């Protein structure tokens, strides 16, 4: 009977704590999207939720095992199982966003690390405290090569003018906010808003004519955070695929 009471108490504690952690995870995401707090506050909330969730996961597993051994503890077993299920998004969502290779973080990806396209038109749109627009140089280039060796320029048989028009079309199809287009210089600048935290990342595309057609270089940089969690590289890959499929 004493074990039954203890199991019941801990099952209730585990369930309520799991609900609290889930609410914290939802609030971190929702609050950032609504502008209630910034990136660092949200990251701190998610870090707290993951740490607390890991402890609760172990507690819920113990409660579930103990409840299964007690014939009269069906409700406790269900509470433990419910807590375990609630903790899946609490731990899974944040870890899914941060499960990336270890090492120096990177938030600026380009198809031309030797001469990356420069941001101009988007600069006035960047809030105070945003990451600098200047490229990080050899250290960033080396880290990109280590993490994303497949990222490279688009070599197209299209003439520069036609490639420029296709760049604008693909950018719009991807949902980017096209900020500036300069056909004479072969430059397109845009802003993309991430789905998870509603962050804004800046993009610049440079189109140059070649003997075989044209070369398209992209650069995508996060405004906030030290790591982009692979988003900028994924964005460039998607653009490259869509451009080739047009």
The CATH number of residue 176's host domain is 3.30.530.50
How many of the other CB atoms lie within 10 Å of CB of 146? Answer: 12
Residue 228 carries which DSSP code? -
Q: Are residues 200 and 127 in the same domain?
A: yes
Give 10-residue mean pLDDT values along the chain (246 residues): 53 66 70 64 67 65 61 52 56 52 75 97 92 94 94 97 97 97 97 81 97 98 84 96 89
Q: Is 39 left (phi over 0), alpha (psi -120 to 50) or beta?
A: alpha
Domain residues for 218?
A: 108-245
Compute the distance between CA of residue 178 and CA of residue 164 in angstroms, rounded to an integer. Answer: 13
Q: How many domains would you assign to the chain?
A: 2
Task: Assess whether 130 and 188 both reside in one domain.
Answer: yes
Last residue of a domain, which of 34, 68, 98? 98
- Count of CB atoms within 10 A of residue 5's CB? 10
**Does residue 188 lie in a domain region?**
yes
CA 176 to chain CA centroid, nearest Å: 16
Say yes or no: 80 and 128 in one domain. Answer: no
Model confidence over 166-177: pLDDT tens digits?
999 999 999 999
**Burial zone of 27 (CB within 10 Å; 0-12 exposed, 13-18 middle, 19+ buried):** middle
User: Do 116 and 232 belong to one domain?
Assistant: yes
The number of residues in the chain equals: 246
Answer yes or no: are the C-beta atoms of 61 and 77 closer than 8 Å: no
- Position 230 scores a pLDDT of 87
Q: What is the pLDDT at residue 233? A: 95
* Whole-number pLDDT of residue 102: 43
User: Is there a domain that residue 103 lies in?
Assistant: no
Q: Which of 226, 234, 235, 231 is nearest to 106 (CA)?
A: 226
DSSP state of 124: G
Which pLDDT belongs to residue 88? Answer: 58
Q: Angle at Cα 101 formed by Cα 100 and Cα 104, nearest 5°?
A: 110
pTM for this predicted structure: 0.67
Give yes or no: residues 114 and 220 share one domain.
yes
Give yes or no: residues 25 and 114 share one domain: no
- State how far the Cα of 155 lies from the Cα of 5, in Å rounded to an integer: 70
Question: Which of 98, 132, 165 represents a domain boundary (last residue)?
Answer: 98
């Amino acid at each position: 009977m004493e074990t039954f009471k203890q199991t019941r108490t801990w099952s209730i504690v585990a369930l309520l704590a799991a609900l609290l952690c889930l609410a914290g995870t939802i609030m971190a995401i929702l609050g950032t999207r609504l502008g209630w707090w910034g990136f660092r506050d949200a990251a701190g909330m998610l870090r707290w939720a993951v740490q607390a969730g890991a402890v609760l996961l172990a507690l819920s597993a113990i409660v579930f095992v103990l409840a299964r051994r007690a014939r009269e503890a069906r409700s406790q077993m269900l509470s433990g199982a419910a807590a375990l299920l609630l903790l899946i998004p609490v731990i899974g969502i944040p870890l899914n966003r941060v499960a990336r290779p270890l090492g120096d973080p990177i938030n600026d990806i380009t198809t031309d690390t030797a001469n990356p396209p420069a941001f101009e038109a988007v600069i006035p749109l960047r809030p105070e405290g945003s990451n600098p627009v200047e490229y990080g140089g050899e250290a960033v280039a080396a880290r990109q090569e280590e993490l994303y060796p497949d990222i490279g320029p688009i070599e197209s048989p299209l003439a520069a003018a036609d490639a420029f028009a296709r760049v604008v079309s693909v950018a719009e199809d991807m949902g980017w906010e096209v900020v500036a287009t300069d056909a004479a210089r072969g430059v397109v600048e845009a802003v993309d808003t991430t789905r998870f935290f509603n962050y804004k990342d800046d993009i610049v595309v440079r189109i140059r004519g070649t003997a075989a057609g044209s070369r398209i270089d992209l650069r995508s940089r996060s405004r906030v955070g030290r790591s982009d969690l692979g988003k900028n590289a994924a964005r460039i890959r998607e653009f490259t695929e869509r451009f080739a499929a047009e």
